[in-house]
Amino acid sequence: MTEDKIAVIVLAAGMGTRMKSDLPKVLHPVAGRPMVSHLLATVAALSPERVVVVVGPGMEAVERAVAPHPTVVQAERLGTAHAVAQARAALEGFAGTVLVLYGDTPLLTGDTLRAMLARRRAADAPAVVVLGFTPAGGGDYGRLLLGPQGGLDGIIEYKDATPEQRALPLCNSGVMAVEGGALFGLLDRVGNANAKGEYYLTDIVALARADGRACAVVQGAEEELLGVNSRAELAAAEAIAQKRLRAAAMAAGATLIAPETVFFSWDTVLGRDVLVEPNVVFGPAVRVGDGVEIRAFCHFTGVSVGAGCIIGPFARLRPGARLGEGVHIGNFVEVKQAAVEDGAKINHLSYVGDARVGAGANVGAGTITCNYDGFDKHFTEIGAGAFIGSNSSLVAPVRVGDGATVGAGSVITKNVAEKALAVARGAQMELPAWSERFRARHQKKADPQ
Please give the residue ranges that form the binding site for ligand UD1 (CB under 6 A). Answer: 11-14, 54, 74, 77-80, 82-83, 102-104, 141-142, 155, 157, 171-174, 200-202, 227
Give the Cα separation of 312 and 307 in Å (integer): 15
Residue 39 to residues 47, 130, 318, Cα–Cα distance (Å): 13, 17, 28
Provide the minimum distance between the beta carbon of 286 and ligand UD1 in the complex, in angstroms, as a whole number: 31
* Of 384, 380, 410, nearest in space to 397 by CA: 380
Q: Which is nearer to ligand UD1, 29 or 343 (CB)?
A: 29
DSSP character string of 285-314? SEEE-TT-EE-SS-EESSEEE-TT-EE-SS
Give the Cα separation of 363 and 382 in Å (integer): 9
Q: Which is nearer to ligand UD1, 199 or 300 (CB)?
A: 199
Q: Which is nearer to ligand UD1, 203 or 354 (CB)?
A: 203
179 neighbors 216 (Cβ within 8 angstroms): no
Q: Provide the 8-state DSSP code for 441.
A: H
Residue type, 38: H
What sign results for the dihedral spanned by CA atoms 319, 315, 236, 46? positive
Q: Which is nearer to ligand UD1, 161 or 294 (CB)?
A: 161
Give the three-state DSSP class for 208.
helix
Q: Which is nearer to ligand UD1, 215 or 329 (CB)?
A: 215
φ and ψ of 168, to 5 deg: -65, 135
Q: Which is nearer to ligand UD1, 142 or 259 (CB)?
A: 142
Burial of 52 (0-12, 13-18, 19+ CB in 10 A): buried
Provide the minimum distance between the beta carbon of 115 and ligand UD1 in the complex, in angstroms, as a whole number: 18
Provide the minimum distance between the beta carbon of 202 and ligand UD1 in the complex, in angstroms, as a whole number: 5
Q: Which is nearer to ligand UD1, 37 or 74 (CB)?
A: 74
Provide the minimum distance between the beta carbon of 63 and ligand UD1 in the complex, in angstroms, as a whole number: 14
Provide the minimum distance between the beta carbon of 156 and ligand UD1 in the complex, in angstroms, as a whole number: 8
283 neighbors 302 (Cβ within 8 angstroms): yes
> Is 69 a catalytic site residue?
no
Provide the minimum distance between the beta carbon of 213 and ligand UD1 in the complex, in angstroms, as a whole number: 19
Give the count of beta carbons closer than 10 Å to the beta carbon of residue 310: 18
Residues 6+ apart with CB under 8 A from 293: 274, 275, 309, 310, 311
Residues 6+ apart with CB under 8 A from 360: 341, 342, 343, 344, 384, 385
Provide the minimum distance between the beta carbon of 222 and ligand UD1 in the complex, in angstroms, as a whole number: 12
Provide the minimum distance between the beta carbon of 173 and ligand UD1 in the complex, in angstroms, as a whole number: 6
Pairing of strands 411-412, 393-395: parallel
Give the Cα separation of 198 and 391 in Å (integer): 68
Provide the minimum distance between the beta carbon of 151 and ligand UD1 in the complex, in angstroms, as a whole number: 18
Give the three-state DSSP class for 199.
coil
Q: Which is nearer to ligand UD1, 200 or 282 (CB)?
A: 200
120 neighbors 179 (Cβ within 8 angstroms): yes
Residues 6+ apart with CB under 8 A from 137: none
Q: Which is nearer to ligand UD1, 174 or 283 (CB)?
A: 174
- β-sheet bridge partners, residue 329: 311, 346
Which member of 69, 299, 328, 348 is catalytic? 348
Give the Cα separation of 64 and 66 in Å (integer): 6
Which residues are tagged catalytic? Answer: 348
